[in-house]
């Protein structure tokens, strides 16, 4: 897919205030600092569309971006991370409620791209979140991030571990993508998946 335009639309904490549910939508979620905003910038070929930071907890709202508005428009959504963001417990709980509301109640949400740091062993918080997605019957795929930061061998090992851990509770593996926002790896594959989903809807 060619990205001909990408623009920020709005930020919300309330899914009811998000844009009209009239075009397909794809959301990006994962632990704080996993690389959600960086991946969105990589996918849309832009530097500062989604705000990134070395400090976990940068994205705090549901951010809608309108992609390819002239031809086949769709929304790309950047979400706050779960996990170790340096914010108060009460604020974290508030985030959790509005993110869960958004994910379960948004009518035009086609896929959730769940990002996982490829450098780490399977994390309980990721497994729990994946199980929550399953319990709520939400369609999702896994995106391994920051793959430029480790060797090919280590990457294969970590991915194999993640798959094995997933298969302890799941009958089959969700679709998976290997990415690096830094090296622009995985861009075509993700955009192709979105493009196919878009054309199966209209």
Binding flag, residue 56, ligand GTP (CB under 6 A): yes
Binding flag, residue 145, Mg ion (CB under 5 A): no
Angle at the Cα of 130 from the Cα atoms of 129 and 131, rounded to 5 degrees:
90
Q: Would you call 71 exposed, middle or buried from its count of C-beta atoms within 10 A (0-12, 13-18, 19+)?
A: exposed
Residue facing ligand GTP at closest CB distance: 81
d(CA 31, CA 119) in angstroms, rounded, equals 13
Tell me the per-residue interface mask from 15 to 54 with ligand GTP, x by CB under 6 A, - otherwise.
Answer: -----------------xxxxxxx-------------xxx
Binding flag, residue 33, Mg ion (CB under 5 A): no
Strands 176-178 and 74-78: unpaired
d(CA 122, CA 18) in angstroms, rounded, equals 33
Are 138 and 112 in contact by the 8 Å Cβ rule? The answer is yes
Question: Which is nearer to ligand GTP, 39 or 194 (by Cβ)?
Answer: 39
Spatial CB neighbours of 145, under 8 Å, sequence gap ≥ 6: 30, 34, 35, 38, 39, 115, 116, 117, 118, 179, 180, 181
Piece of 2-10, 91-99, 151-159, 175-183 that binds ligand GTP (CB under 6 A): 175-183
Binding flag, residue 38, Mg ion (CB under 5 A): no
48 interface partner picked from ligand GTP, Mg ion, none, CB below 5 to 8 A per type = none
116 interface partner picked from Mg ion, ligand GTP, none, CB below 5 to 8 A per type = none
Q: What residues make contact with ligand GTP under the rule CB under 6 A?
A: 32-38, 52-54, 56-59, 80-81, 145-146, 148-149, 180-182
- Positions in the binding site for Mg ion (CB under 5 A): 36-37, 58-59
């Amino acid at each position: 897919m060619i990205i001909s335009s990408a623009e920020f639309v709005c930020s919300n904490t309330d899914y009811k205030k998000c844009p009209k549910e009239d075009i397909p939508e794809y959301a990006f979620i994962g632990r704080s600092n996993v690389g959600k905003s960086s991946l969105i910038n990589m996918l849309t070929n832009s530097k500062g569309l989604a705000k990134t930071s070395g400090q976990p907890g940068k994205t705090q709202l549901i951010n809608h971006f309108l992609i390819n508005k002239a031809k086949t428009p769709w929304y790309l959504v950047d979400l706050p991370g779960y996990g170790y963001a340096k914010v108060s417990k009460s604020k974290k709980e508030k985030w959790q409620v509005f993110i869960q509301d958004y994910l379960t109640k948004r009518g035009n949400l086609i896929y959730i791209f769940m990002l996982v740091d490829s450098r780490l062993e399977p994390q309980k918080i990721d497994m729990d979140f994946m199980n929550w997605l399953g319990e709520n019957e939400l369609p999702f795929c896994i995106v391994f991030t920051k793959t430029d930061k480790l060797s090919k061998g280590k990457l294969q090992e970590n991915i194999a571990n993640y798959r094995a851990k997933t298969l302890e509770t799941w009958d089959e593996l969700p679709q998976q993508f290997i990415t690096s926002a830094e090296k622009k790896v995985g861009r075509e594959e993700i955009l192709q998946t979105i493009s196919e989903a878009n054309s199966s809807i209209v």
